[in-house]
Structure 1
């Protein structure tokens, strides 16, 4: 291995502990949260120094950062996995926790990226900064492939380095004087980014919620779609379908209700469709399939879970021209200013890969990989179902949502890790509505998925 590759591998293997522990802060056992707590996640990185006489600047800490009650969920899971591996150095630890893809990127896609990379070493093929909004051909291909006859044009599409990054850019666009609603449970980046930009009140420990956020409870009893008649008016509605973590996809009728709710309240929907290609039934794959959605919705998506681009980083956000602020100003124009100020455009190599993804051969290759993960999902669902658990999701998403009624999610996570050396994700990490559940990811090599299911059967038989 070359020295450059060794350095890269070292950075990769230590990134979770870096994110979790921060600069110059030494983790200790006493800092670990008890597994029995519903939000058992490490406190944020900005702990005060224990040293006396240490120089400090006169810059105040961002008060919104101080509101965050916990470190980000997935670095905490990675930290617990690392601690477990130190305790059991000979164990074969299998991770079905974080939703990170495992199968190789199809060659039709990597070869296009390789060709683009090599062309950069030639005078004819070199290019520097690209358009902040993305390559024109890629934007056109996204519009035609995913939005067909829905009235979405290439100029409505902003190519990015991933949906997660765009979520934060959208929060910057909206600013601190809005109120947001979020599914409960939901992907934690929505809430954390809302806290950071100053949209929320303090964390209310008794109910495990932040003030000034509307938590829309999604449960098996309501089909994982909120009762909108009980939801207060908000400015921004974050909505993910198929949902992470529950794996549930909203029906056409349900999304029609959501769009009408947004219109009645003058709200903007931020619709996360990062798992749309996993849909197996007739659920809509885009919010823009719903009449009137272009007047109230933004859609964000990604190549991460379609083409294995979790490390390549490439996604997009759609903001229709019809979407206007209360003063009539186009939302897309302000987002364009945010993008041009904060972003220099996606990697030209990654965008070459994106174009290859959307070729006929690339689309087939992506669907084959998605089919492989969906087979993994069926194996996991069948395993938990055979053990008598109530199991949700799996049909339209690569996640299985398993109910452990009356139990702490972190306790279940710890039990499974300790007794089977299997990493899952505690449901409470996705919000108070996730307590009593665990999320199991179908992203894994087939042999590891089969072995994990074998261990689960031994534990819960």
Structure 2
């Protein structure tokens, strides 16, 4: 008799953002004249950079001509032109990559979820709490034991290793989703040293690295000595260049990363060849344009737009006397719910009293209870309006 994977029963009944969408839809039906401002899901609102659009048009034109038409890509790991462009980008961080260590995928979420195919089910997983749900859910589906590390106000939501805790797979996200907190070099060195000592793999989500402006803060785990022997890095064009509707990202696995005498990058290459058919040629040409001088300038202008939204939000929270972290080097602001409200209570309060949608911190884990995430990816005028509405609620 066929049996289902019973581990799915260990998941929450609904993905966090599906629940939010349902609540917003219900409110909209009951209040058809609503003027909801959405600051919950981290989707971008600004259009793609002109350099990216131009590259897509050129690539589409190539597909219309027999001499330049492209069918299946040579392999599922990405065209050489994009892998080399990404490796060149890392040189700006002082990291020398071989293009063969870069693997192009359809987004960081997919790769973060799929990378666990490489690891035995008996490995113990360590995740900070609060945490991006995908880290937890993909391991619950596989049936792994998960340990939680307390991220809280006392440690600035940047927990460090605990010597008496052993783990085999460690997840870190910096700038962090949901808290917006960013690890410095010394803190990341502590995690690299811990991973090396425990013969663990460090899965480092750098999807928001382009928002880092703080002097000396690392953009890549591979800026940290020893990381090439213990870490895998994931990054995305979604937040960097607005590719949320196009889907493209990349994973970096150094040749030095080996376990049991096996080069991990070779396993990932084999896994992708078996289960993934590659990112479209047009999308990869668009991604390549992100790293051109013109593309970098245009992309950073858009990021500056979102960063200004974050400053507007941070100033308003400060004026209201609300504790928060993030915003300075991240598109997320992680605020303490006012007046002792719990996360979902505050969600309903904001939606009903101010028609603002955010993300309840409880959806990211038990340590998220009593906190709330706002995103800076919205329209500038609507961001100003939303913060004015919030300030009126405090009066």
How would you bin the TM-score normalised by the shorter chain?
A: over 0.9
Is 1:156 the counterpart of 2:107 in the alignment? Answer: no
Query: Is 1:195 matched up with 2:128?
Result: no
Deviation of 1:402 after TM superposition, in Å, equals 0.5
Task: Map 1:340-355 to 2 at 5 A.
Answer: 340-355=273-288
Q: Show the counterpart of 1:135.
A: 79
Contact in 1 for aligned 2:256/2:263 (Cα 8 Å): yes
Aligned CA distance change for structure 1 residues 147 and 219 (closer, same or farther; 3 Å): farther
Alignment match, 2:240: 306
Residue 168 of structure 1 corresponds to which residue in structure 2? 113
Instruction: State the Cα deviation string for residues 129-183 of structure 1 (Å, max 9, x = none).
Output: 1121101011011011124542321010000000000012101121422111111
Q: Is the 8 A contact 1:380 1:453 kept in 2?
A: yes
- Give distance in 2, aligned partners of 1:336 and 1:88: 51
Query: Once superposed, which parts of structure 1, at least 4 consecutive aligned residues long, lie more than 6 Å away?
Result: none
- Is the partner of 2:17 in helix, strand or coil? helix
Deviation at 1:356, TM superposition (A): 0.6
TM-score (structure 1 length as normaliser): 0.83
CA contact (8 A) 1:169 1:338 kept: no
Shift of residue 227, structure 1, vs aligned partner: 3.7
Superimposed CA distance per residue, residues 247-283 of structure 1 (whole angstroms, 9 cap, x where no aligned partner): 0110000001000011111110000000111011121
**What is the number of equivalent residue pairs in this alignment?**
391
Task: Note the aligned Cα RMSD (angstroms).
Answer: 1.2
1:225 aligned partner: 158
What are the equivalent positions in structure 2 for 1:9-408 lying under 5 Å apart? 59-130=2-73, 131-148=75-92, 149-199=94-144, 212-229=145-162, 232-281=165-214, 282-325=216-259, 327-404=260-337, 406-408=340-342
Contact 2:160-2:191 within 8 A present in 1 as well: no
- Residue 230 of structure 1 deviates from its aligned partner by 5.7
Question: Which 5+ residue runs of structure 2 have no aligned equivalent?
Answer: none
Conserved in 2, the CA contact under 8 Å of 1:216 and 1:231?
Answer: no
- In 2, Cα distance between the equivalents of 1:419 and 1:106? 36
Structure 1 gaps of 5+ residues are 1-57, 200-211
Q: TM-score, normalised by structure 2?
A: 0.97
